[in-house]
Chains A and B, each alone.
Chain A
């Protein structure tokens, strides 16, 4: 079983719609969760982090964490063509150390 799993997509949504990206993790003791956006040929860029159960909102982005079900999601409201990218979920496991576990990434395309 992989530490972090994401649907690789591709996920296509029309402009203005809500894009929903999901991630599950295996280490129940995981503490911190991160979403990165990566444009083709560029480096990952932090979108949000979350470490408490519930929702966290930042502009058009909402991260949701459910530790009991071991999943974290990212909602993008009013999707724009500029949101087209690969979204990486990263998890910091509960054991000591600072090694991230990355999901394989979900490719999102927003259709104008």
Chain B
């Protein structure tokens, strides 16, 4: 089973709202990722958690706040977003930086976010 789940599928929010995106995997993976993807562009890495510790933070604005409550769950808290933050937000997981096939990242279906 290589399933990563994400909720919600779609989210519309105003610029003053606070919302959260959720991601879950039960593959025993120890690395989890948040990506942002705009139309016709590749995924853009935002955050990496490795063994529940934030290991990569790609200079993302503070209005995005990641949280990894345990090895299976990853949240992305959103506050005071801008219309340009509208995008597909993807969660992925992998076994970790172990080399070869174990580095394969499996993506969830994504959350389509619209900021009004």
Contacts and interface: CB of A to CB of B under 8 A. Distances in A.
Interface in A42-78: 42-46, 49, 51
Contacts of B101: 32, 49, 51
Interface string A82-108: 000000101010001111101111000
B90 A98 contact: no
A31 interface: yes
A25 interface: no
Interface in B36-67: 41-43, 45, 48, 50, 55-56
Contact of B90 (A43, A46, A97, A104): A43
Given A49-B101, A104-B42, A98 B96 contact: yes
Contacts of B109: 42-43
A102 B42 contact: yes
A109 to B, nearest CB: 14
B105 A104 contact: no
Contact of A44 (B41, B43, B45): B43
A31 B103 CA distance: 10
A98 B94 contact: yes
B103 A98 contact: yes
Interface of B: 2, 31, 41-43, 45, 48, 50, 55-56, 88, 90, 94, 96-97, 99-101, 103-110, 112
23 contacts: A31-B99, A32-B101, A34-B104, A36-B107, A41-B112, A42-B109, A42-B110, A43-B88, A43-B90, A44-B43, A44-B90, A46-B2, A46-B104, A49-B103, A49-B104, A51-B100, A88-B42, A97-B55, A97-B56, A97-B97, A98-B94, A98-B97, A99-B48
